[in-house]
Amino acid sequence: MPEISVVAEIAPFGALLLGLVIGSFLNVVILRLPRRMQAELSEACADLRGEPSEPLPNRWFGLDYLITPASCCPKCGHGIRAWENIPVISYLLLRGRCSNCQAAIGMRYPIVEAVTGLLSLLLVMHFGATPAALAALILVWGLIALTVIDLDEQLLPDQLTMPLMWLGLLVNINGMFTDLVSAVIGAAAGYLSLWFVFQVFRLLTGREGMGYGDFKLLAVFGAFLGWQILPLVVLLSSLIGAIVGISLVVVRGRDRQIPIPFGPYLAGAGLVALLWGEQINRSYLQLTGLS
């Protein structure tokens, strides 16, 4: 029908615009969620010590910290006006500086917005204007936030990983990406496989090689894509992580004892698996003669 054709044609453009807006919101999440978690931890520690503490505001389903206070320049406190908050464009118009004090604005903000917009465009072009595209968009938006937070804080918050895991199980009730049994097994296998590696590494070295957030992130991919895709995600993320880690040691002289966050590599491998995982697995089976 003509109406469906029109929707299919404009959907990628709409996804690009929506992705740019979501990217701007993700910048807020990336900045404020770790701060909120630290404040909640400090409050809990004060309670355990029997010290008085000011209760944190908890409105709008506990998401008040994402809404208030309004965004402002961290140096001079200048409130960000609407025209200064247009994704990517405002950064270019302001030439990367605060309009009030001329302090430099980090390149991260337009990069996150642009990457979110472009990946949103890619996903809708790949899946079409379908419910699967919407689920994939939510997953990838969450992965972008998790990636940057992990790079900053070496932390993968449960506030992001757990809802994504449950979403993966829910969308597969009717087999959107895989059958429900594979999704449930995938979530459990994703978590337990890295948990087992963690325990063995700690037993052999006395050190912790990764965090529990990594277990949960792999469980997210198992819930969305099924247990069959997990070997590909682990192999790709390990390969990329090893290459980057060795490069940092050789080129920049990075101390081998300094931990490198694994979440970004898992997220990148998971994105590849989401888009091309079935084709990669099929090609591998054909190449090895197992199919």
Residue the block writes with tokens 């990367």: 96
Q: What is the predicted pLDDT for the residue at 113?
A: 97
The mean pLDDT of 259-271, rounded to a whole number, is 91
pLDDT at 256: 61
Both 249 and 174 in one domain: the answer is: yes
Question: Residue 186: what pLDDT?
Answer: 97
Same domain, 161 and 286: yes
Assess contact for 237 and 262: CB atoms under 8 A: yes
**How far apart (Å, rounded) are the C-alpha atoms in residues 51 and 54?**
10
Which residue type does 120 have? S
279 in any annotated domain: yes
Question: Does any domain span residue 209?
Answer: yes
Residues 104 and 169 in one domain: no
Please name the residues in contact with 116: beta carbons below 8 A apart, sequence gap of 6 or more: 19, 20, 22, 23, 26, 141, 144
Statement to judge: residues 124 and 163 lie in one domain: no
Q: What does the pLDDT look like over 226-257, one tens digit per residue? A: 999 999 999 999 898 888 877 777 776 666 66
Do the beta carbons of residue 141 and residue 148 sit within 8 Å? no
Q: Which of 177, 181, 179, 138 is nearest to 161 (CA)?
A: 138
Structural domain harbouring 233? 156-291
Residue 19 lies in a domain: yes
Q: What is the pTM of this model?
A: 0.91
Mean predicted confidence (pLDDT) in 259-281: 91
Is residue 11 classed as helix, strand or coil in its secondary structure? helix
Let me know whether 36 and 84 are in one domain: yes
Tens-place pLDDT, residues 185-216: 999 999 999 999 889 988 888 887 788 899 99
| Contact criterion met (CB below 8 Å) for 266 and 218 | yes
Task: Give 154-177 pLDDT, tens digit per residue.
Answer: 999 999 999 999 999 999 999 999
| Residue 145 covered by a domain | no
How much is the pLDDT for 42? 85
| Domain co-membership, 13 together with 69 | yes
Q: Answer with the residue of higher pLDDT: 83 or 272.
A: 272
Q: What is the pLDDT of residues 35-85, one digit of tens each?
A: 988 888 888 888 888 887 777 777 766 678 788 888 888 888 888 888 888
Asked whether the predicted pLDDT for residue 5 surpasses 70, the reply is no
| pLDDT over 70, % of the chain | 92
Q: Tell me whether residue 20 is in a domain.
A: yes
Note whether 5 and 125 are same-domain residues: yes
Q: What is the pLDDT of residue 252?
A: 66
276 and 165 in a single domain? The answer is yes
Name the helix (H) or strand (E) containing 91: helix 89-93
Tokens of 53: 């503490």
Query: What's the confidence (pLDDT) of residue 57?
Result: 74
Same domain, 125 and 191: no
Task: Tell whether 15 is covered by a domain.
Answer: yes
Q: How far is CA 284 from CA 190, 226, 277, 288, 290, in A?
A: 21, 17, 11, 6, 8
30 DSSP β-pair partners? none
Report the percent of the chain where pLDDT is more than 90: 54
Say whether both 55 and 102 belong to one domain. yes
Closest by Cα among 234, 61, 268 to 163: 61
Q: Is residue 192 part of a domain?
A: yes
Indicate whether 178 pLDDT > 90: yes
Whether residue 151 lies inside any domain: the answer is: no
Decide if 225 contacts 280 (C-beta within 8 A): no
Mean residue pLDDT of the chain comes to 88
Question: Is residue 229 domain-shared with residue 267, that is, in the same domain?
Answer: yes
The residue ranges of DSSP E strands in the chain, in sequence order, are none
Residues 175 and 279 in one domain: yes
The structural domain count of the chain equals 2
Query: What confidence tier does 4 reach under pLDDT thresholds 50, 70, 90?
Result: low
Q: Who wins on pLDDT, 19 or 63?
A: 19
DSSP summary character for residue 97? B
End-to-end alpha carbon distance in the chain = 39
Provide the pLDDT for residue 26: 96
- The average pLDDT across 19-39 equals 93
